[in-house]
Amino acid sequence: MHSTEIEIRTGGSAVVADLTREVERFLADVPGGAEDGLLHVWVPHATAGLAVLETGAGSDDDLLAALDELLPRDDRWRHRHGSHGHGRDHVLPAFLPPYATVPVLGGALALGTWQSVCLVDTNIDNAVRRVRFSFLAG
């Protein structure tokens, strides 16, 4: 197994951050080469998740809009520390888990044509996130 952790600055607004290029760089640096196996991505945070989706054509913005409708940033949440409506950020990982696993074939991610590995962060109180990549050889 080969593993590393990166830091992503997400800023002060909700974001869908495409991690695909960082994952590809990670796979290129696997000692002995990453052939067939699994890429596991992990976000060690209680208020962020991962998604595999299309980006750049509006789907990332649609996801954030859907999360705003499903999990409004208002006073309904029992978890009340942080910014207004922050409790919803603690519910997010139940909908977008903090992990994703993608097959790696011949050293390349076996993603569909429009798929990207993305960090989804709606927590405006924490602008820095850690993401761990692990490659498990097959």
Place of tokens 């809009």: 65
Look at residue 13 in the predicted model and tell me its pLDDT: 92
Look at residue 12 in the predicted model and tell me its pLDDT: 87
44 phi/psi in degrees, rounded to 5? -85, 55
Look at residue 79 in the predicted model and tell me its pLDDT: 85
Look at residue 80 in the predicted model and tell me its pLDDT: 81
Look at residue 138 in the predicted model and tell me its pLDDT: 81
Look at residue 92 in the predicted model and tell me its pLDDT: 95
Instruction: Say if domain 2-137 classifies as CATH 2.60.120.460.
Output: yes
Look at residue 11 in the predicted model and tell me its pLDDT: 87
Q: How far is CA 96 from the centre of its chain?
A: 8
Could you give the residue ranges of the DSSP H alpha helices within the chain? 20-28, 59-70, 87-95
Place of tokens 């390349």: 108
Domain range list for the chain: 2-137
The series of mean pLDDT values per 10 residues for the chain, 138 residues long, is 96 94 96 93 97 94 96 90 88 96 97 96 93 95
Give the predicted TM-score (pTM) of the model.
Answer: 0.93
